[in-house]
Structure formats: C-alpha cells, structure tokens
C-alpha cells in the first residue's frame, strides 16, 4: 500500500492510545488504495483508452460519416463527424463508468472483501464510497481527456467550447457510476451485470441520440431518452462541441446530471450500509 | 499382466515422472491386488500426487512400466478410466450444477444411460448423506459435504479401483470420521482403494498396506504395524525442555534408548521400555520440563524415514 | 456399493461417430466420441441461467432497430459492393447477424472456457472419465454453435418481419451464421488456451472491437481507400459479413466459396490447435 494510506492515521507508538479519528479526510486512503492497484495494470488500459477514440472516429465519424454526408448532407447541416463524435464521447464515459463500477465493486464486497477490511479500521461507509468514486471519476476524466485529444486531431470538433464538455462528460459518467455502485451492492453474482449491460447500457448507447437525433425515434420513445442521463450528456456535449452552445440548455443538462448523482449517492449509501454493516 | 480380470489390478515397475529437469517420481515399483487398500504416505512434494495422476491415466508416464487391469494407459486410457473412480486432491465439482445434477452428468461422462445414472444417484445421495441437499447448488455446501459428494460422484460408475488423493485434507475431525466411515464401507464391499495421505492416523485407519515416499522414491513399505515394528521401537519417550536448544540436551542423554531424534520442539527417545528410559534420564540429573511415555505410531516411522536430524 | 464387474458399462467404442471418423484423418488428440455428453452438461447448466439466453438474443435486435430506424432515416440508400441499391436496414442487418455470431462464439469460447479451465477446473474432472481432450474441444465448440444457431434463427425471424430479407437464399443465412460461429469459436478457444489471467482478455477485445467496426459492417468496402480494402478483406469477420450480405440480399455467385473456404480453414486450425493445447495443458 502506498504511503498515502498511513498518512491520515499514523502508526500509534506503544505508549500512546490509538486515536480513532473518523473525519472528512478518511476517503483519501481508500482512494490511495485503488490508485495503488491501478499503478500495476495501467499500461494495458491506457493503450485501449487511446485506441477507442481512434476506432470510433475512423469508423463512425469518417466511414459511416461519408455515407451519411453523401446521402443526407450531414445531420441538420452539420457534417456527421461533428455530430457523432460528441455523442460517442458521452457514451464512452458511460462505458468506462460501468466498467469501473461492477466487477471491482462486487469483488471488494464479495470476493476479496476489500471493503470489509477497510471497515475494520476507522474508515466508514461514506469514506469507502467517496474514495472509490473519486477513483472512478479519475478514470473517467483520464479516458475523456484522451478521447477529446485524439478526436481533435481528426478535426472532430467545431469549437474550443468542447473543453467545457470535458467536465460535463465526467458528470455523465458519474451519473452512471454512482447508481451502478448502488445496484452492485445488491448483487450476489455477476448475472445482473449481463442484464444491466445488455438491457440498459447497450440500448442507451443506441437510442440516446448518440448516432442520430432522437427525432428519428417514434414519438412514444422520446420521453424515455429524456429521462436517461446519457441523452443529457450527449446533447450538452454536442451543443458545446459544435460551437454554438445553448448555455441555458447546458446548465439544465448539468443540473439533471447532478440530480441523478445525488439520488444515486443516497441509494448507494443505503445499499452499501445494508450490505456491509450487518 | 495380460489377463485383464486377474486379481493384480495395478502394477508399476520403475515408474518415473519428470517435468523438465525435475524428477517428481523416481523409478518406483509397487503392485495392488483386488480388494486391497493401498496407501502412499509421504510429506508434501514427495511425488504422491504425480504418481496418482499417472495411475489415473491423466498424466503420461515418462519412464518405466505402468499397467492397470493389465492394460497400458498410453494406449487404453479411456478403457482404463472407465473402470476407475477418482477423488482429486481439490474438489472439482461442477459449481454451475446442483448436487444431483453433478452425479447425473458425471455418470453420463462414463456413457451410462440417463435412467441408470438417476437410479444410481439416488443410491449414492443416501450413501453420502446428502439426500436433503439433492437440489441445492454445490457452492454453499460445507467442506465435508463437498468431499462426500466428490466421493459419491467417483462411485457413480461403480469403479473397481477408487483413487483418493488426500481424501480428508482440510476437514474438521467430525467430517474426517464421517468420511472414513464411508470409505470403510466401500472397502468392506470389496472396492480396491488406492490413496495418498500425509496424515499418519489416516494411513493407520485405512491402509492394509502402504509405501512411504520421499523425494520421489519409495523408502519403505509394508503394513502399518510391520512398519512400526521395523522402523520404530515399542515405546517412545517425549521430552520437552524449557529452552530453544533441544540439540544440546540430545547430547546430554545420548546412549539412552535405541535411538534419539531431535525435533524443533522436543526430543524423542525410542525405547522398548519408555519408563526405564525416563528413569535413566532422571538418573543423569537432567530435568525436562515435561516427559511423556507413549506407544510408537506411524508418525515416528514417518519422521524417521523422511529425514530429521538424527542423533546417535 | 458393490463393484461387480458384470455391471460395468461397456467401455465406449472409440470408433463410432462422425467426429471419430474425422479424427482419424486429422491430427487430433484422443477422445472417446462422447463430445455430446459435454453438450448435455452445458444444457443442464444453462437451464439455471436462461436469462443469459434471452439477453444474447436481444442485443442484435436492439442494434437492428437503432441502426435501421435511426440511421436509416439519415442514410436513405446504400450501394452495396455487389452493386445493388438497398435501404440502410437491409444493408446492415446481414452484417449484424454475422457480427453477433462472432460475438457470441467468442464470448462462449474465451470467457466461459477460460473460467471452466482455470477456475471451475471442470475439465480436470471430465478428463478423469473415459472422455478425452478432443471430446472437450468438440463438445464446447458444438455447444457454442447450437447457441449461436438459436440466436441467428431468432434474429432472422425479426429481420424477416422488419423487411430485411429479400431472397430464398436467406434460408442459407442460418447455416452460414453457424459456420461463422464455428470459425470464431474454434480460434477463440485456441487463443484461450494461451491465456494466463483475465488481463489477457484485453487482447480479445482488441481483436474483436476493430473487426466489428471495420469489416464492412456499417458501410461498404468501397468507402475505404484501395490499400485499406486489402487489410479489411484479410479479417475473418469481413468474410462472414460478405457471406451473410450476399445470401440475404440474393447476390449469390461462386465467389462466395472463397468466404466459406477462408472461414473453414480458420475453424479447422482453431479446432486442431485447441484440442492439442487442451491435451498439453491438462494431461501433462
């Protein structure tokens, strides 16, 4: 474990009484613990982080884009590349969040009992959640930054406003990570992840306006898109990346994402407590 | 060696297994008759499990001759395995299936009909005392239950030889005795048992005949009783001293009994008459923290044969 | 329990069955011609996890509707590499069929097989019986094909009602999908036998994802510049997609045999390799 783990709670000398000091800083050793694990495997994941935007920009943005631009002259007057890349940016944040919030969390609850080990120290449920979610946010931020950088090389964005899409994309990812944390704490095995992925994540990817405007959907399906965090992330990203942001709209999307994160946080706190504090 | 129905079920001559430069089994000879209960006793890494895998026809023989039912595993693997039951060291139960499904499908692997495996499974669930868990998944079962299920599973094909690799390792005393009871019944019914163990009590309980293995070689063989007679004395005097240096005391009592063995935590004095040996120790003015006279066991044979610092 | 010899099952004859006959021609390791029992085991196991079956079916259907309705609204007409002008839904449906055959087969033969090989130690117990390594390889691959065939059949029914089926040749799309599954399943299982830990599965994703995106799945081969077209044509999924597209759109010609030959060669390589590696891993 890294040095940061012991910093907030120094080794008591034999003469002093151990001081359990539960406080706001205890999420940091939790975060440090996950970072330590990551340091051992980061190389493989970083390669994928660079590859993913490359693949999507080339296949969807340029390949499929040439088809769309030829057939329909882009989407609403915008080249398909500029339309689709901000959408995929948001979708990737969702995937990364899903990847970080399922097996690792269930593993820490059920297989390697990492959370239980933490709870045997002054660290509490809130620290565990805050520390681990901060780590997930770090992952989403890294992936998003790389994506924006690589995609920009291909001229995928119309404006510098896209830099503001970065924090919104991270919020989009967290609007998935936090509720999924809550969900994972209720699971016994990995069967539920399969259903989550196939019936929630994939349909959202396909129907949240990522590839095409949701006006193309049958009218009764559109309200569903409005409820999902992904559509809000996609729409905000797109309006920023195209360079003519409707700032009120972006603010509204941000507020919605924060709302989902807050609700998810309350749920996660509940399910984690129920699962870990018996 | 040619008659498949002969009572000589298993015969190995110069049996050898090497992995690269490492020789796990180093030219061993043994034979097992029908109805016998035969054991391999030895410390971890002695080559017992490698031997068992060759006998189970899942690991090719590197050198020497191995025959089961007069057949060569290299050419008749499936035919031989059809007549064997295997209880591996670690349970390899199918965790995706229920208890009874584990028995059914394992029987099917032997080419038994569906109706046949069902009737045999019912019988075996009773044998393994698992009737009320028949529809349960495997994962929540206790270690003892899983072990009994593994044994029941190995019996579904009504094997002529049952191979057991460390059958009771890691089980609590109750579970061990329950398992021994099941194995006794099989033995009484004429099933040939071939097992490995590093538990002396298990070897004494279960084996008619055993070989002691160390570093891939057989260092002794015989019945548990004959091994004790041959390699140990009638009684053993155990001495403990309030010191870390038992070797020093070993020098002090040299000459008492037939042989002295120094273990990290105590001294063993092998003698026909343990009380007389204890008296001799006192006579030399040596004051042990505790002294205990007991009958010799297979453990003494084992410690003697598999190498401890010997004094005298 | 008695060990009466008269009750012994006859040792399974090693000469029966198609696989055994193939085995005598091919350099395959031993088996008892009992691969079907491993399939039976998987069916029993699957009864406990039927939800996975439904989810496997749902994914390609979601894709079909999303791409067909959504993108179809943007891309009205696509000119296929065979020269026809078709709607985007008709263009993409055969590709989704091929891609889902690949995905299902790869998932079954990599993640599932690795789990059984390394963690559940399922095959250790199987090989203690008369079953041999060839039975394991053939059994797992057959099972994967059966599942894949089921998904493909369901997808074809949906595609038919979505109006994406235009030729009687489409009846052959089902065996073709199974065949694509065979090729990927065999090669995937072969690859799995080299894997050391879950981390190595990143390489599987690394191979699958680019193929999914670039094998003329979502846009025609003609979109690429000339040199890149050659690279695309070297990938196995391209041949699967081209085969399915030709069958479902009725662009049938002798050229299709090239696709079949490519996939068959890949599948046989994987099958022989997988069986040999399993023998090496488990019977050493």
Q: What whole-number percentage of chain C has pLDDT above 90?
A: 26
> Which pLDDT score is estimated for A122?
85
- Do B70 and B95 reside in the same domain of the chain? yes
Task: Output the DSSP codes for B240-268.
Answer: E-SSS-HHHHHHHTTTSSSEEEE-SS-EE
Edge-to-edge strands, sheet with B259-262: B290-295, B235-240, B267-271, B259-262, B310-311
> Which pLDDT score is estimated for B5?
57
The residue whose two tokens read 């099958």 is C271
- Do B249 and B140 reside in the same domain of the chain? no
Query: B105-127: buried (b, 16+ CB within 10 Å) or exposed (e) per residue?
Result: bbbbbbbbeeebbeebbeebbeb
Does residue B113 lie within any of the structural domains? Answer: yes
- Do B102 and B82 reside in the same domain of the chain? yes
User: What whole-number distance in Å separates Cα of residue B203 and Cα of residue B298?
Assistant: 8
| Beta carbons of C125 and B92 less than 8 angstroms apart | yes
- All partners of chain A with 3 or more CB pairs under 8 angstroms: C
How far out from the chain centre does Cα A197 lie? 14
- Residue A88: both structure tokens together: 């995929």
> Which pLDDT score is estimated for A152?
92
**In degrees rounded to 5, what are phi and psi of residue C121?**
50, 35
CATH number for B80? 3.40.50.300
CA angle B5, B9, B12 (to 5 degrees): 135
* Domain boundary pick from B177, B201, B223: B223
Total domains in the fold of chain B: 2
> Which pLDDT score is estimated for A155?
87
- Residue B234: both structure tokens together: 């009638």
All residues of chain C having their beta carbon less than 8 Å from the beta carbon of residue B148 are none
Does residue B307 lie within any of the structural domains? Answer: no
User: What whole-number distance in Å separates Cα of residue C195 and Cα of residue C118?
Assistant: 10
- Residue B285: both structure tokens together: 């003015």
How far does the CA of residue A234 sit from the closest CA of chain C (Å)?
A: 16
> Which pLDDT score is estimated for A232?
95
DSSP helix/strand/coil, B294: strand
Is the pTM for the entire model greater than 0.80?
no
- Do B58 and B134 reside in the same domain of the chain? yes
Task: State pLDDT tens for residues B289-303.
Answer: 888 998 888 888 887
Q: Average of pLDDT values for C24-31?
A: 54
Torsion of CA B105, B108, B110, B116, to 10 degrees: 120
> Which pLDDT score is estimated for C29?
58
Alpha-carbon torsion (C141, C147, C151, C153), positive or negative: positive
- Do B122 and B242 reside in the same domain of the chain? no
> Which pLDDT score is estimated for A74?
83
- Do B82 and B189 reside in the same domain of the chain? yes
> Which pLDDT score is estimated for A18?
46
| Beta carbons of C165 and C156 less than 8 angstroms apart | yes
Does residue B174 lie within any of the structural domains? Answer: yes
- Do B156 and B291 reside in the same domain of the chain? no
Contact at CB, B88 and C128, closer than 8 angstroms: yes
> Which pLDDT score is estimated for A17?
46
Q: Average of pLDDT values for C102-123?
A: 83
User: What whole-number distance in Å separates Cα of residue A213 and Cα of residue A235?
Assistant: 9
> Is the pLDDT confidence value at C15 over 50?
no
> Which pLDDT score is estimated for B3?
55
Q: How confident is the model at residue B107 (pLDDT cuts 50, 70, 90)?
A: very high
Q: Which domain holds residue B177?
A: 8-223
Q: How confident is the model at residue A6 (pLDDT cuts 50, 70, 90)?
A: very low
Q: How does strand C85-86 pair with strand C78-79? A: antiparallel
Contact at CB, C126 and B90, closer than 8 angstroms: no
DSSP helix/strand/coil, A144: helix
How far does the CA of residue B50 sit from the closest CA of chain C (Å)?
A: 10
**How far, CA to CA in Å, does B155 sit from each of B90, B106, B110?**
17, 10, 11
Alpha-carbon torsion (C109, C111, C116, C121), positive or negative: positive
Does residue B311 lie within any of the structural domains? Answer: no
Q: Average of pLDDT values for B225-254?
A: 82
Closest of A238, A65, A57 to residue A149, by C-alpha:
A57
Does residue B146 lie within any of the structural domains? Answer: yes
> Which pLDDT score is estimated for A170?
97
- Residue A178: both structure tokens together: 């936090």
> Is the pLDDT confidence value at C3 over 50?
no
- Residue A72: both structure tokens together: 């329909």
Q: How does strand B267-271 pair with strand B259-262? A: antiparallel
Pick the more confident residue, B253 or A264.
A264
| Beta carbons of B3 and B67 less than 8 angstroms apart | no
List, in order, residues 6 or more apart from A43 with CB less than 8 Å away: none
Q: Quick one: which H or E segment has residue C139?
A: helix C133-161
Give me the residues of A, 179-238, that contact C with CB < 8 A: 191, 194-195, 198-199, 202-203, 206-207, 211-212, 216-218
**How far, CA to CA in Å, does C169 sit from each of C47, C64, C252?**
33, 20, 8
- CB-closest option in A48, A72, A194 to C74: A72
- Do B65 and B155 reside in the same domain of the chain? yes
- Do B262 and B180 reside in the same domain of the chain? no
| Beta carbons of B214 and B42 less than 8 angstroms apart | yes
How far does the CA of residue A209 sit from the closest CA of chain C (Å)?
A: 9
Q: How confident is the model at residue C30 (pLDDT cuts 50, 70, 90)?
A: low
Q: What whole-number percentage of chain A has pLDDT above 70?
A: 91
Task: State pLDDT tens for residues A38-86.
Answer: 887 777 778 888 888 899 999 989 999 998 998 888 888 899 999 999 9
Task: State pLDDT tens for residues A9-26.
Answer: 444 444 444 444 555 678
Pick the more confident residue, C140 or A171.
A171
Residue C7: closest CA among chain B residues belongs to which residue? Answer: B158
All residues of chain C having their beta carbon less than 8 Å from the beta carbon of residue B101 are 44
DSSP helix/strand/coil, B197: strand
Q: How does strand B8-19 pair with strand B63-68? A: antiparallel
> Is the pLDDT confidence value at C79 over 80?
yes
Rounded to 10 deg, the angle between the C226-234 and C236-249 helix axes is 90
Q: How confident is the model at residue B191 (pLDDT cuts 50, 70, 90)?
A: very high
The residue whose two tokens read 């041999």 is C132
All residues of chain C having their beta carbon less than 8 Å from the beta carbon of residue A211 are 66-67, 70-71
List, in order, residues 6 or more apart from B161 with CB less than 8 Å away: B9, B10, B32, B68, B83, B84, B85, B191, B192, B193, B194
Q: How confident is the model at residue A28 (pLDDT cuts 50, 70, 90)?
A: confident
- Would you tell me how many other CB atoms lie within 10 Å of the CB of residue A73? 13
- Residue A7: both structure tokens together: 């910093």
Q: Quick one: which H or E segment has residue C177?
A: helix C173-192
How far does the CA of residue C87 sit from the closest CA of chain B (Å)?
A: 45
CATH number for B269? 3.30.70
Tell me which residues of chain C have a C-beta less than 8 Å from any C-beta of chain B: 1-5, 7-12, 14, 30, 32, 34, 37, 40-41, 44-45, 48-49, 120-122, 124-132, 282-284
Closest of A72, A91, A69 to residue A80, by C-alpha:
A69
How far does the CA of residue A200 sit from the closest CA of chain C (Å)?
A: 11
**How far, CA to CA in Å, does A234 sit from each of A52, A78, A207?**
17, 16, 11
- Do B211 and B242 reside in the same domain of the chain? no
Going by the DSSP 8-state scheme, the letter that residue A165 receives in this structure is: H
User: What whole-number distance in Å separates Cα of residue A86 and Cα of residue A238?
Assistant: 5
Pick the more confident residue, B66 or B250.
B66
User: What whole-number distance in Å separates Cα of residue A29 and Cα of residue C178?
Assistant: 51
Alpha-carbon torsion (C222, C227, C228, C230), positive or negative: positive
> Which pLDDT score is estimated for B309?
44
Mean pLDDT of chain B: 87
**How far, CA to CA in Å, does C255 sit from each of A25, A256, C125, C188, C242?**
68, 54, 45, 26, 10
Pick the more confident residue, C26 or C284.
C284
Q: CB distance from A72 to chain C under 8 Å?
A: yes
Closest of C98, C101, C273 to residue C189, by C-alpha:
C273
> Which pLDDT score is estimated for C149?
87
Pick the more confident residue, C197 or A120.
A120
- Do B118 and B209 reside in the same domain of the chain? yes
> Which pLDDT score is estimated for A40?
78
How far does the CA of residue A104 sit from the closest CA of chain C (Å)?
A: 13
User: What whole-number distance in Å separates Cα of residue C96 and Cα of residue C98?
Assistant: 5
DSSP helix/strand/coil, A96: helix
Greatest C-alpha distance within chain A:
79
User: What whole-number distance in Å separates Cα of residue C141 and Cα of residue B207?
Assistant: 43
Q: How does strand B192-197 pair with strand B209-214? A: unpaired
List, in order, residues 6 or more apart from B202 with CB less than 8 Å away: B167, B168, B176, B180
Number of A/C CB contacts below 8 angstroms equals 91
> Is the pLDDT confidence value at B238 over 80?
yes
Q: Average of pLDDT values for C263-273?
A: 92
Q: What whole-number percentage of chain C has pLDDT above 70?
A: 88
Query: Among A14-28, B19-33, B58-72, B252-266, which stretch is predicted with the lowest mean pLDDT?
Result: A14-28
> Is the pLDDT confidence value at B305 over 90?
no
Mean pLDDT of chain C: 82
- Do B241 and B216 reside in the same domain of the chain? no
Contact at CB, C284 and B60, closer than 8 angstroms: yes
Q: Average of pLDDT values for C186-199?
A: 86
DSSP helix/strand/coil, C52: helix
> Which pLDDT score is estimated for C94?
93
Contact at CB, C55 and A212, closer than 8 angstroms: no
Task: State pLDDT tens for residues A216-275.
Answer: 888 888 888 888 899 999 999 999 999 888 889 999 999 999 999 999 999 999 999 999
> Is the pLDDT confidence value at B145 over 70?
yes
- CB-closest option in B90, B109, B191 to C126: B109
């Amino acid at each position: 474990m890294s040095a940061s783990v012991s910093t907030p709670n120094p080794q008591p000398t034999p003469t002093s009484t151990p001081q359990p000091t539960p406080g706001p800083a205890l999420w940091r050793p939790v975060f440090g613990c996950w970072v330590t694990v990551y340091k051992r495997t980061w190389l493989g994941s970083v390669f994928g982080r660079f590859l993913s935007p490359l693949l999507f920009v080339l296949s969807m943005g340029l390949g499929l884009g040439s088809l769309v631009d030829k057939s329909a002259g882009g989407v609403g007057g915008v080249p398909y590349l500029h339309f689709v890349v901000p959408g995929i940016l948001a979708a990737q944040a969702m995937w990364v969040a899903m990847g970080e919030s399922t097996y690792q969390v269930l593993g820490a609850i059920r297989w390697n009992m990492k959370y239980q080990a933490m709870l045997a120290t002054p660290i509490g449920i809130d620290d565990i959640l805050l520390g681990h979610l901060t780590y997930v946010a770090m992952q989403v931020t890294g992936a998003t930054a790389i994506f924006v950088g690589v995609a920009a090389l291909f001229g995928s964005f119309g404006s510098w406003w896209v830099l503001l899409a970065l924090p919104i994309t991270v919020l989009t990812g967290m609007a998935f990570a936090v509720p999924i944390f809550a969900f994972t704490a209720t699971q016994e095995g990995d069967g539920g992840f399969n259903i989550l992925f196939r019936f929630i994540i994939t349909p959202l990817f396909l129907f949240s306006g990522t590839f095409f405007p949701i006006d193309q959907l049958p009218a009764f399906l559109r309200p569903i898109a409005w409820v999902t965090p992904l559509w809000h992330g996609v729409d905000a990203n797109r309006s920023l990346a195209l360079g003519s942001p409707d700032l009120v709209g972006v603010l509204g999307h941000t507020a919605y994402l924060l709302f989902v994160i807050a609700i998810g946080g309350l749920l996660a706190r509940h399910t984690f407590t129920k699962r870990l504090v018996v | 060696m040619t008659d498949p129905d002969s009572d000589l079920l298993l015969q190995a001559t110069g049996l050898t297994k090497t992995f690269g430069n490492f020789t796990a089994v180093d030219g061993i000879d043994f034979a097992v008759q029908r109805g016998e209960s035969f054991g391999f006793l030895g410390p971890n890494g002695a080559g017992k499990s490698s031997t068992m895998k060759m006998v189970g026809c899942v690991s090719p023989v590197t050198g020497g001759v191995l025959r089961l039912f007069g057949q060569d595993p290299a050419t008749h693997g499936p035919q031989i395995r059809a007549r064997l039951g295997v209880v591996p060291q670690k349970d390899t139960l199918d965790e995706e299936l229920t208890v009874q499904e584990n028995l059914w499908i394992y029987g099917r692997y032997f080419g038994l009909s569906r109706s046949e495996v069902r009737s045999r499974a019912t019988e075996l669930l009773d044998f393994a005392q698992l009737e009320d868990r028949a529809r349960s998944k495997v994962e929540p079962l206790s270690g003892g239950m899983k072990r009994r299920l593994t044994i029941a599973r190995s019996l579904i094909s009504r094997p002529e030889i049952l191979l057991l690799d460390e059958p009771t390792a890691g089980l609590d005393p109750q579970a061990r005795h329950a398992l021994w009871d099941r194995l006794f019944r099989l033995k009484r019914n004429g099933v040939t048992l071939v097992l490995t163990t590093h538990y002396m009590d298990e070897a004494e309980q279960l084996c008619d005949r055993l070989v002691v293995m160390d570093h891939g070689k057989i260092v002794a063989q015989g019945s548990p009783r004959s091994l004790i007679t041959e390699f140990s004395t009638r009684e053993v005097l155990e001495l403990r001293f309030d010191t870390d240096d038992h070797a020093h005391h070993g020098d002090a009592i040299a000459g008492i009994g037939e042989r002295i063995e120094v273990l990290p935590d105590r001294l063993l004095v092998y003698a026909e008459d343990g009380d007389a040996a204890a008296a001799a120790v006192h006579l030399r003015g040596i004051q042990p923290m505790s002294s205990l006279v007991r009958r010799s066991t297979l453990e003494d044979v084992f410690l003697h044969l598999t190498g401890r610092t010997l004094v005298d | 329990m008695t060990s009466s010899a008269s009750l012994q099952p006859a040792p399974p004859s090693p000469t029966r069955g198609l696989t055994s006959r193939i085995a005598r021609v091919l350099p395959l390791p031993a088996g008892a011609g009992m691969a079907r029992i491993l399939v039976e085991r998987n069916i029993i196991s699957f009864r406990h996890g039927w939800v996975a079956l439904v989810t496997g079916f749902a994914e390609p259907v979601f894709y079909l509707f999303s791409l067909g309705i959504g993108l179809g609204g943007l891309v009205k007409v696509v000119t296929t590499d065979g020269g026809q002008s078709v709607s985007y839904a008709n263009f993409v449906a055969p590709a989704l069929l091929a891609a889902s055959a690949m995905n299902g087969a790869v998932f079954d033969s990599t993640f599932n097989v690795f789990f059984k090989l390394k963690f559940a130690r399922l095959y250790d117990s199987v090989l203690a019986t008369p079953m041999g390594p060839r039975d394991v390889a053939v059994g797992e691959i057959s099972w994967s094909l059966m599942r894949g065939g089921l998904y493909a059949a369901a997808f074809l029914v949906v595609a038919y009602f979505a109006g994406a089926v235009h030729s009687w040749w489409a009846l052959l799309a089902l065996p073709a999908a199974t065949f694509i599954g065979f090729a990927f399943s065999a090669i995937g299982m072969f690859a799995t036998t080299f894997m050391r830990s879950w981390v190595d599965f990143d390489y599987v994703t690394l191979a699958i994802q680019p193929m999914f995106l670039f094998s003329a799945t979502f846009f025609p081969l003609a979109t690429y510049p000339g040199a890149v077209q050659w690279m695309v044509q070297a990938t196995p999924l391209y041949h699967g997609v081209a085969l399915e597209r030709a069958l479902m759109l009725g662009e049938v010609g002798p050229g299709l045999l090239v696709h079949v030959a490519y996939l068959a060669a890949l599948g046989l390589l994987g099958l022989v390799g997988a069986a040999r590696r399993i023998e090496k891993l488990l019977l050493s």
